[in-house]
Amino acid sequence: MAEITVTETEQRRSTARILDVREDFEVEEGMIPGALHIPMGQLQARLGELDPATPVIAVCRSGNRSAAVADALNGAGYTADTMTGGMIAWTRAGLPTT
């Protein structure tokens, strides 16, 4: 698993699946446009929503949960990275949210 910056995430949005693993109440504050929302606790049950052929960039509020999710995905045969700083860093950088 690699830790990638918000800038790298923005550049890879068209070729990777952004996976937002925050809870519903956190997502209400805004998500990266086009991201798939699967709360961390539901990941195992909803793994089929991810395409193993598409790289995943896991995102959470600050980067801790997404690092654990990226590790788990890599262990399950996916290619996954985590976005350093999470949505805190994304919004601080002035990048778009929906």
pLDDT in tens, 41-87: 999 999 999 999 999 999 999 999 999 999 999 999 999 999 999 99
Q: Is the pLDDT of residue 38 over 90?
A: yes
Sort strands 36-37 and 17-20 into parallel, antiparallel or unpaired: parallel
What are the DSSP E strand ranges found in the chain? Answer: 3-4, 17-20, 36-37, 56-59, 80-83
Grouping H, G, I as helix, E, B as strand and the rest as coil, residue 81 is: strand
One-letter amino acid identity for 28?
Answer: E
User: ∠64-39-16 over CA atoms, to 5°?
Assistant: 75
| Residues belonging to the active site | 60
pTM of the model: 0.96
